[in-house]
């Protein structure tokens, strides 16, 4: 196996497919990411309104790159919406069905393992008033003509590479309470309120996946690292991290965030 030009505990600026080419095969233990949804989000360095064939071609390309760098038995976890739309597609004309489409693409390179439903709530499941997110997309108000469902959930699709079991052992920091709660396929926690990045996810999301699927000291990759949440979570949990982000400003902000949130007991270690 050739030596890698990519070091751990760093966030790289560039195209994730090109950066992953500089990694050897079987280099990371876990991939946690939330790719662009193609819903017209105003990123600085990326057009989030692509033609559908181009968008799904890109999805296949970056997933193929992820398969090469992920270790056998490792997990890939992709945060996506169930349905969506963009500036070129009216809701009344139809939605982009992300969950089934991503399932098809992912299954070309990985074995599908889990579907986790993330309920974006600030309270318990039976408290109907505590959902996070948009509460104004009614469609046809009080009419069966064309009502729209308001999005209060997203999904985490989990796959594994070739084998369902990790091929190495290590030290786990997963508690009994966390294991019992997080092995349910419905997770409830709020969205991220910090909007320094246009599409952040909360730290609770990578934290759960990292503790469930890696040992202390394993390496976590986020090929669309955005505001650096996966990297921060990995660092706090004493895992090595690699982030890749296209926009130089987001990279700079992420690096500063990692240093700002670094626990004192990880100084000089991770």
Looking from the CA of 137 toward its CB, the CA atoms found within 13 Å total: 12
pLDDT tops 70 at residue 91? no
Domain 10-262 has CATH 3.40.50.150: yes
Sequence ranges of the domains in the chain: 10-262
Task: Write down the mean pLDDT value for the chain.
Answer: 86
pLDDT digits (tens, 9 = 90+) for 223-258: 999 989 999 999 999 999 999 999 999 999 999 999
Q: Which residues pair with 240 in a beta bridge?
A: 219
Beta-strand relationship, 10-13 and 28-33: unpaired
* pLDDT average, residue stretch 145-163: 86
Q: Angle at the Cα of 58 (from 200 to 197), degrees rounded to 5?
A: 15
pLDDT tops 80 at residue 150? no
pLDDT digits (tens, 9 = 90+) for 28-60: 999 999 999 887 778 888 887 888 889 899 999
Distances (CA, A) of 261 to 1, 120, 155, 204: 34, 24, 27, 15
* pLDDT average, residue stretch 72-78: 98
Measured in residues, the chain has a length of 270
Contact present, 254 and 225 (Cβ < 8 Å) = yes
Token reading at 91: 């809701």
Supply the pTM of this predicted model. Answer: 0.89
The more confident residue out of 201 and 68 is 68
Most confident of 127-131, 143-147, 263-267: 143-147
pLDDT tops 80 at residue 261? yes
Token reading at 40: 């017209």
Token reading at 144: 């069966």
pLDDT score for 1: 41
Q: Which residues pair with 31 in a beta bridge?
A: 76, 221
Phi, psi of 113 (to 5 degrees): -125, -50
Phi, psi of 79 (to 5 degrees): -90, 120
pLDDT score for 121: 78
């Amino acid at each position: 196996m050739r030596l890698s030009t990519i070091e751990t505990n760093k966030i790289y600026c560039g195209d994730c497919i090109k950066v992953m080419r500089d990694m050897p095969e079987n280099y990371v233990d876990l991939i946690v990411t939330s790719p662009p949804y193609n819903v017209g989000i105003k990123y600085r360095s990326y057009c989030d309104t692509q033609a559908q064939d181009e968008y799904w071609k890109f999805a296949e390309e970056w997933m193929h790159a992820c398969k090469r760098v992920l270790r056998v038995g490792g997990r890939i976890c992709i945060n996506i919406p169930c349905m969506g739309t963009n500036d070129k597609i009216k809701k009344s004309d139809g939605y982009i069905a992300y969950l089934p489409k991503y399932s098809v693409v992912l299954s070309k390179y990985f074995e599908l393992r889990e579907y986790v439903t993330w309920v974006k709530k600030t309270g318990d499941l039976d408290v109907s008033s505590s959902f996070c997110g948009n509460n104004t997309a009614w469609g046809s108000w009080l009419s069966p003509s064309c009502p729209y469902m308001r999005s209060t959930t997203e999904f985490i699709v989990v796959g594994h590479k070739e084998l369902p079991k990790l091929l190495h052992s290590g030290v786990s920091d997963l508690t009994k309470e966390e294991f019992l709660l997080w092995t349910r396929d419905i997770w409830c926690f709020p969205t991220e309120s910090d909007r320094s990045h246009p599409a952040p996810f909360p730290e609770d999301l990578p934290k759960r996946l990292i503790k469930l699927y890696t040992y202390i000291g394993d390496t976590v990759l986020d090929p669309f690292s955005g505001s650096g949440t996966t990297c921060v979570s990995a660092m706090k949990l004493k895992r090595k991290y690699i982030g890749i982000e296209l926009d130089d400003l987001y990279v700079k902000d992420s690096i500063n965030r990692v240093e700002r949130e670094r626990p004192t007991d990880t100084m000089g270690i991770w």
